[in-house]
Structure 1
Amino acid sequence: MKILITGCNGQLGTELQAQLRRGESELGPIPDRLKNATVLPVDVDQLDITDRAEVVNFVRRHQPDTIINCAAFTNVDGCETSKDAAFKVNALGPRNLAIAADKINARLIHVSTDYVFSGEGDTPLDECDLPAPRSAYGTTKLLGEQYVQRFCRRHFIVRTAWLYGYNGKNFVKTMINAGKKFGKLTVVNDQLGNPTNAVDLAHHILKLAVSHEYGTYHCTGNGICSWYDFAAEIIRLAGVEATVAPCTTAEYAAAHPEAASRPAWSALDNRMLRCTVGDEMRPWQQALAAYFEHWDGENGTK
């Protein structure tokens, strides 16, 4: 099997490559069909997914069996100020990959986000719930999903949330660094969701890659918490001498008026996983503890 990974230098892209290289993850072995897979990792320097002709020609030339799209414009605040750039990467990029994949009958696994939902509610959102994004990031990501559904028959859309991995920037590393620098953190306590370890997400994406269970999936860590709960557990596990205090979204917005709107409720339910390939996503506390057991403190594993 030949697998093309776009956005290969990000948190998820690097984790997918590591699991394919090792033949296993912290959750167990990857599917046997993938253990000798040829991996084509590309980032923007090798393939500009916003250029339709370039994407179609690249995919036609390399003939991957599966494309995993990890590329995205994920800076939520930046999407508000650079809407055209967000549109090109988050909407046109997936469209171009979908068109190219369908031309050669390849599978496309497209990674999306909890931000496609409105942020209202009080019960976990499953794949039957209707998206209604409130931000430029969520709006462009939803359009990307719709293009994938329209232009590629063999597609998987995988929505995740609050992602952290060993490589690159994420909330876990930000909290640790801020805690060390300031000794005190103030974090919103009225936005709830599901922290997700990139190890768990990559493991399930590779399970999907050898299945025929096409469709839309939610794939997040199990259990619900607030950003404050998440930050407090990070500081505790990291052993950083810092206090963590809660605040409301309104209080945060008053202090940061430039910030884009975030969902108050974006907890997802992994129903499609449970009903198809199986939900082995760890409880978020367990996955976070495992992260600290394996993380080398920089951009890799011990």
Structure 2
Amino acid sequence: MVGPMKKILIFGDGQIGNFYLEYFSAKDYQVQIAKGVDIRNFDQVAKAINDYRPSTVINTAAMTNLEWCGQHRLEAFDVNVLGAATVAKACDQAGVYLVHFSSGCIFSSRDGKDAKAETDAPNPSSYYGWTKVWSEEMVAFERSEDFKFLILRPRQPVSAQVNHKNMLVKMLTFTKFVDTANSGTVLEDLMDWTDQLIDKQVTGILHVANSGWTTPYQIALMIKESILPALEPAKITKAELDKMTPNTRVDTVLDVTRLEELGIKVKPYKQRLAETVKQLGDNIRSMDRAELKQQLEETAAASRQRTVLNSVYELLYR
């Protein structure tokens, strides 16, 4: 019964939205992205839902660039907060289960032992982080008693896809890396988790990250070993990094006990990272050089605004 019952409408066509589209399409579910819909416009959102009649809506739509959100606060609030409220209202009125994306960066952890649970009070260090806190509140605000919704908090999504939005691809262009504890979410795992969570109709707030943690510097060493031997990772302190970027560096470790208690098999982050980095390397080596160059140059253009670039990433497409 699961296959025919699952009909999914996705808001947001960024990295995560398209990951869901590919995943659910491969499983022969009915799924589509709501193209050309402004989530701030209730009539457009309601029409998309009423026309498609999904069993589940996944809302990944948001402005996610920290610097941009800090510099364009009204528009960021409009999309991330009011847009989330609009999608929730439309789902509530249509009687549709909603999966809404928040973020793990609403927390700051002191170290690897300072893992944050769903019940801990958020302490964002960026305006973007605050918009995600407010979005969670607006999803639940003045809804009917029957409205079912699930709020997911991922942390630093990574994958084996060669995509300029993938954090691992971004790291191919970096020179210096902090050596501080962070959780992470392998997107290939998140897809399966979400599938199971929808089947279970889980509600409330849920941290969705792989278990344990590692550091950006340790990830850089994996990248050097599996993808870019010429990379020479250097450590940088948070204080030094904060002088180079408009926003304070956020380090977050998430407690995923609730996810595991729901019967979801959560693999260790270090193990999955090693596997994902290796697969990313295989994908890079088999990719068309011109397309690879385009992805890496787009990555470098964005990275140049916040860090010191290396030059060895160019060896990957020469």
Give me the TM-score of the superposition, normalised by structure 1. Answer: 0.84
Output the CA distance in 1 between the equivalents of 2:226 and 2:42. 45
Q: Which of the residues 38, 60, 79 maps onto 2:50?
A: 60
Contact 2:24 2:30 in 1 (8 A): no
Q: Does 1:77 align with 2:67?
A: yes
Aligned position for 1:198: 187
Q: What does residue 10 of structure 2 align with?
A: 5
Query: Does the 8 Å contact 2:106/2:133 carry over to 1?
Result: yes
Query: Residue 20 of structure 1 corresponds to which residue in structure 2?
Result: 24
Name the structure 1 match of 2:148: 154
* C-alpha spacing 1:294/1:281, structure 2 compared with 1 (3 Å): same
SS in structure 1 of the partner of residue 233 of structure 2:
strand
Alpha-carbon deviations, 1:186-222, whole Å to 9, x = none? 11223x2112211111211111112132111001122
Which of 259, 264, 270 is residue 246 of structure 2 equivalent to?
Answer: 259
When normalised by structure 2's length, the TM-score is 0.80
**Aligned pair partner of 2:98 in 99, 108, 111:** 108
Q: How many residues align?
A: 274
- Amino acid corresponding to residue 67 of structure 2 in structure 1: D
In 2, the alpha carbon distance for the partners of 1:53 and 1:21 equals 27
Mapped contact 2:222–2:277 kept (Cα < 8 A): no
**Cα distance in 2 for residues equivalent to 1:87 and 1:189:** 32
Cα distance in 1 for partners of 2:75, 2:192 equals 30
What is the CA–CA distance in structure 1 between the aligned matches of 2:99 and 2:229, rounded to whole Å?
38
Query: Does the alignment pair 1:275 with 2:235?
Result: no
Instruction: Name the one with the larger helix percent.
Output: 2
Shift of 1:168: 4.3
Q: What is the CA deviation profile of residues 47-74 of structure 1, one whole-angstrom value per residue up to 9, with x for unaligned ones?
A: 1112222212222222211001111211
Contact persistence 1:119–1:262 (CA under 8 A): no
For 1:52 and 1:240, the matched residues in 2 are separated by: 51
- Distance verdict in 2 for CA 1:147–1:120, change over 3 Å: farther
Q: Which runs of 5+ in 2 are unaligned?
A: 1-5, 293-318
Displacement, 1:233?
2.0
* Preserved CA contact (<8 Å) 1:109 1:157: yes
Q: Aligned-pair RMSD on alpha carbons?
A: 2.1
Q: Is the 8 A contact 1:270 1:279 kept in 2?
A: no
C-alpha distance in 1 between matches for 2:184 and 2:229:
20
CA distance in 1, matches of 2:274, 2:179: 21
The one-letter amino acid of 2:85's match is R
Identity %: 28
Aligned-pair distance for 1:104?
A: 1.1
Give 1:119 deviation, angstroms: 4.0
Deviations 1:209-248 (A, max 9, x none): 1213211100112221222222222232213311111111
Contact preservation (8 Å) 1:12, 1:202: no
**How is 1:36-51 mapped onto 2 (pairs within 5 angstroms)?**
36-43=28-35, 46-51=36-41
Is the contact made by 1:73 and 1:79 (CA closer than 8 Å) also made in structure 2?
yes
Distance verdict in 2 for CA 1:149–1:262, change over 3 Å: farther
**Farther-moved stretch of structure 1 (102-111 vs 13-22):** 13-22
Q: 2:216 aligns with which of 202, 227, 240?
A: 227
- 1:3 aligned counterpart, secondary structure: strand
How many angstroms does 1:137 deviate by? 0.6
User: Per the alignment, do residues 47 and 171 of structure 1 end up closer, same or farther by CA in structure 2, a change over 3 Å counting?
Assistant: same
- The Cα shift of 1:4 comes to 0.4
Query: What letter is aligned with 2:32?
Result: L
Q: Quick one: higher RCO (CA 8 Å, sep 6+), 1 or 2?
A: 1
Residue 98 of structure 1, aligned match among 81, 84, 88: 88
